[in-house]
Amino acid sequence: MATETHEIDRAEKIGDLPPDLPSKFMQSAAAYYSAFENATIGIGHISMSGHWQYANGALARILGYSPSELRDLTCQEMTHPNELPLDGERVLKLLAGELEHYAIDKRFLRSDGHYIWTRKTLVVKHSEAGEPDYLIALIEDIDDRKKAELENAFLVQELTHRSRNILSVISSLTSLLAPSCENVSEFEDRLLERLHAIARSNDQLLFGRHEGASMDALVHSQVSAFLGLDMMRVSVSGPEVNVNAACCQSLSLALYELTSNAFKYGALSSPGGRIALSWETRGNGEDAVFRFEWREISSNPREMSDHQGFGTTVLEKMAPMSVRGWAERTFCADGIVWTLEAPLVAVLTHSGAE
């Protein structure tokens, strides 16, 4: 009987079983292999050398190989390098009898060259002599769950980072804005206006999630806060660019100051005045540069004031420093021009920079 059982364990199909086995034994074997092949979880046998001996349909689908292809591969060579040490250590303990079974989340290399997250549970099949004969592996596809967990961890980390950035910006706002205000009421009004600008930029970041904020959406959200739906006096042009949190928040403050000043003293304070906003990227690799320009076009432009207020600090110091760049505000024949240049890597999200 021991020999017959050994042959059943090694048979790939019911049709491969010896024909002289008892009918009840054949029925039992058929039920076993039906459960083995139709199980929704991947099931495989692994030899002591680490080679796949058998695999059911679910395991073949998970790993992307046919059962015959798997027999030419070892479990070790398909395992992600980061999981090899722990996996190998637990297999040795399992074979030594220190563990009855073990489970581990690990990545397997599929036939398409991509790694897939799985939950692997391993037990030992012993021979009648008590020696390890082969390993039985239960493989569950947890790739979607793992990716969701990793994304959630990233979002929590990003939220923490952005919260610190916002607190830092607010701290700078209050310390720089307070000296330029004559009373508490003025300070409160001016601070709230700028916090609303930051809130609008944060909305764009949340909408873009880890892809960052769309430059086009950021510009429109800040300028439309003053103009509403009437954007006919503003032209916006530039390539599709997703900017990171630091750039988004600093540009939102700069755009608020520029738009507010344009309404009070600049192109938007008189009929016919217009604003042209544009951005571009230049160069490649480490030398790549991001350039943003705000240009006012007015038939009756006013010269820049020599007053160095909070807006000047935002435009000439806060905004460029947040992206490791430089900024310049000049007076041309048509009106004010504000230019910001920075290394592209300091402006884009990490995914965009790659």
Model confidence pLDDT, tens digit, residues 172-211 = 657 666 777 788 887 887 777 767 766 766 666 665 455 6
- Average pLDDT for 311-321: 87
Res 288: pLDDT:
95
> Are 342 and 290 spatial neighbours (Cβ–Cβ below 8 Å)?
yes
Q: Rounded CA gap, 346 and 297, in Å?
A: 30
Q: Where in the chain is the domain with CATH 3.30.450.20?
A: 39-141
- 295: nearest Cα among 237, 220, 249: 237
Q: Is the pLDDT of residue 332 over 70?
A: yes
pTM of the model: 0.50
Q: Is the pLDDT of residue 354 over 70?
A: no
Place of tokens 């935002």: 314
Query: Between residues 293 and 309, which one has the greater pLDDT?
Result: 293
Res 298: pLDDT:
87
Query: Between residues 169 and 279, which one has the greater pLDDT?
Result: 279
**Residue type at position 12:** E
Residue 82 half-sphere exposure, CB side, CA atoms within 13 Å? 8
Q: Is the pLDDT of residue 231 over 80?
A: no
> Are 28 and 21 spatial neighbours (Cβ–Cβ below 8 Å)?
no
Instruction: Give the contacts of 190 (CB within 8 A, at least 6 positions apart).
Output: 177, 181, 310
Query: Between residues 6 and 57, which one has the greater pLDDT?
Result: 57
Res 5: pLDDT:
34
- Average pLDDT for 215-239: 83
Res 250: pLDDT:
84
Res 15: pLDDT:
46
Kindly report the average pLDDT of the chain as a whole number.
80
245-264 vs 215-227: helix crossing angle, rounded to 10: 30
Please give the structure tokens belonging to residue 202: 């944060």
CATH code linked to domain 39-141 = 3.30.450.20
Q: What are phi and psi of 2, to 5 degrees?
A: -60, -40
Of the options 3.10.580.10, 3.30.565.10, 3.30.390.50, 2.60.40.1930, the CATH number for the domain spanning 146-353: 3.30.565.10
Q: Rounded CA gap, 230 and 222, in Å?
A: 13
Query: Between residues 211 and 219, which one has the greater pLDDT?
Result: 219
Q: Is the pLDDT of residue 2 over 80?
A: no
Q: Is the pLDDT of residue 252 over 80?
A: yes
CA 26 to chain centre: 53
Instruction: Reduce the DSSP state of residue 196 to 3 states and report it.
Output: helix
Q: Where in the chain is the domain with CATH 3.30.565.10?
A: 146-353
* Percentage, residues of the chain above pLDDT 90: 36
Q: Is the pLDDT of residue 319 over 50?
A: yes
Q: Is the pLDDT of residue 239 over 90?
A: yes
- 325: nearest Cα among 343, 313, 348: 343
- The string of pLDDT tens digits covering residues 93-130 is 999 999 999 999 999 999 999 999 999 999 999 988 88
Query: Between residues 284 and 229, which one has the greater pLDDT?
Result: 284
> Are 116 and 108 spatial neighbours (Cβ–Cβ below 8 Å)?
yes
